[in-house]
Amino acid sequence: MSWFVLVVSGALEAVWAVALGRSEGFSRLAPSVVFAVALVASMGGLAHAMRELPVGTAYAVWVGIGAVLTVAHSMVTGQEAASALKLLFLAMIVGGVVGLKVV
């Protein structure tokens, strides 16, 4: 269950990161609210997962999932250019996350 909560929390990290960018320095209400709710839920899930998982592993997985999803969202929406090298490096992050789960 901790791994499931951790993955959801990592996805919420991407949500709050995107919302933070769209909040324009917290000057827009809706993205600012989404940011705050997603941040609290993401941190809460991370804290819950750390009850059973090692801190280093949980944090690395959480950050990795959030980073990959944030970059993928930016590529899909056209805010960031996609390239073969970027995709390769994102795949390497995913591989590292999977590796941490396996060991």
Model confidence at 103, in pLDDT bands (50, 70, 90)?
confident
46-57 burial string, b = 16+ CB within 10 Å, else e? bebbbeebeeeb
Alpha-carbon distances, residue 90 vs 29, 49, 83, 95, 97 (angstroms) = 31, 23, 11, 9, 11
Contact 59, 41 (CB under 8 A): no
**Percentage of the chain exceeding pLDDT 90:** 97
Q: Does residue 79 carry a pLDDT above 90?
A: yes
DSSP state of 82: -
**pLDDT per position as a tens digit, 30-67:** 999 999 999 999 999 999 999 999 999 999 999 999 99
Q: Is the pLDDT assigned to residue 76 strictly greater than 90?
A: yes
